[in-house]
Amino acid sequence: MPAAMSDKFQVAVLAGDGIGPEVMAEALRVLGVVTQKFSISIQYAACHVGGAAIDADGKALPEATLKACEAADAILFGSVGGPKWESLPANEQPERAALLPLRKHFSLFANLRPGVCLPELVHASPLHPKIVEGGFDVLCVRELTGGLYFGEPKYTKQEGGESFAVDTMIYWESEIRRIARVAFEAARTRGKKVTSIDKANVLQNGLLWRRIVTETAADFPDVVLNHLYVDNAAMQLVRNPKQFDVIVAENMFGDILSDELAMITGSLGMLPSASLGEATGGARRFGMYEPSGGTAPDIAGQGIANPIAQILSAAMMLRYSLGREDAAGAIEAAVRKVIASGLRTGDIWTEGTTKVGTAAMGEAIAKAI
Ligand code: IPM
Ligand code: MG
């Protein structure tokens, strides 16, 4: 990771599979405009990842890609996976062999997944219009390098003529404390409320989680903390998403709840995400930025995918890894402006608005900056 003293940055661009390359092209287009306007210099290193890397280099995360990421200030990630690689052994598949190792390698423990339902797009939410009226804005903060995903031991064995599988859920206090701090700090910049998710009525991990989050809250007296069991949280999200500001959850619970949150916004193609490492100095930290949506193989290559999630991921990158709130805000404002002007990709289109493809949406946002 180069020490970024001036506004000259290196970004590893990992477009990946499915719609990844098409939406990435639009993110780069928008970055081109915004960096010029705000005098930011970025050098891009395009690298293979996922299925595309399996085809080209024989594995989902080639050495050269990892090296380029190590040399960069941030990773701008598209999406990986697809039907073509689904028959490979589990641990060679793009998701397991690229995404999870990248998270672990760079200790990207803090996953920010904003779930925003814009007032203009409430019709796209599957929830009752009365529930989502006026839109909502929930930030899911998911712990990303601990818990069941990475806990050891982890294996499948045979005994007495049948197989059994073991995954280990383990959290250290320090892991809980650092993700809780991320949630409280985020809440400070928005609705000043954190809802911590656990299963303290069953799991030891839940008891520890609740105790450490509560302790951490003492450093943030301006933020209101409440706790929910994960099953109740899943229910509350569809009953009344507006009650939430920031939710913080361990890895697996956050995986599940963030998909639910994305679904109820009605616009998966609009949601970015950031996976951050420890803050090293000042406002900048290494991170990987990717759309929440995935590869969407059913529409890949048709030029109709919504590029907004990728474009907003680039905005998050400017904010968290490059320390350029000004440029990040400009992209976000341009996206809102274009939505307000009535332009829509197919996923969010309704009668009375103008349907456009991936490139036209990217162009419009670039122009609005
Ligand atoms: C996500 C995905 C990944 C996860 C998969 C693809 C391994 O669902 O980023 O939420 O479970 O973390
Ligand atoms: Mg998931």
Q: How large a percentage of the chain has pLDDT more than 70?
A: 97
- Nearest atom in ligand 1 to the alpha carbon of residue 96 is 7
Residue nearest to atom 8 of ligand 1 (CA): 255
At residue 281, the pLDDT reads 66
Tell me the H-state helices in 240-344: 251-265, 308-320, 325-340
Output the residue whose Cα is nearest ligand 1's atom 12.
255
Return d(Cα 52, Cα 89) in angstroms, integer: 16
* CA dist., res. 133 & res. 128, Å (int): 9
Q: Is the CB of 99 under 6 A from ligand 1?
A: yes
What local confidence, expressed as pLDDT, does residue 267 receive?
86
**What's the chain's length in residues?**
369
pLDDT digits (tens, 9 = 90+) for 320-338: 999 999 999 999 999 999 9
* For ligand 1, atom 6: residue with the closest CA: 95
Is 337 a residue of the active site? no
- String of DSSP letters for 322-356: S--HHHHHHHHHHHHHHHHTTEE-GGG--TTSEE-
From the CB of 120, is ligand 1 less than 6 Å away?
no
Residues whose CB falls within 8 Å of the CB of residue 341, separated by 6 or more in sequence, listed in order: 364
Q: What is the pTM of this model?
A: 0.95
Is-contact 307 273, C-beta < 8 A?
no
Residue 86's pLDDT is what? Answer: 95
Distance of CA 120 to the CA centre of its chain: 22
- The single residue of 17, 73, 149, 245 carrying the catalytic annotation is 149
255 belongs to the catalytic site: yes
Q: Domain coordinates of the chain in residue numbers?
A: 1-109+278-369, 126-265
Angle, alpha carbons 98-50-10 (nearest 5°): 75
CATH code of the domain made up of 1-109+278-369: 3.40.718.10
3-class SS of residue 206 = helix
What confidence tens digit (pLDDT) does each residue in 4-61 have?
A: 445 689 999 999 999 999 999 999 999 999 999 999 999 999 999 999 999 999 999 9
DSSP 162-202: EEEEE------HHHHHHHHHHHHHHHHTTT-EEEEEE-TTT
| pLDDT of 6 | 53
| pLDDT < 50 positions in the chain | 1, 3-5
Q: Are the folds of 1-109+278-369 and 126-265 the same?
A: yes
Q: Are 311 and 303 in contact (CB under 8 A)?
A: no
For 126-265, CATH number? 3.40.718.10
Q: What SS3 state is found at 84?
A: helix
- The answer to whether the CB of 143 is under 6 A from ligand 1 is no
How many angstroms is it from 272 CA to the middle of ligand 1? 14
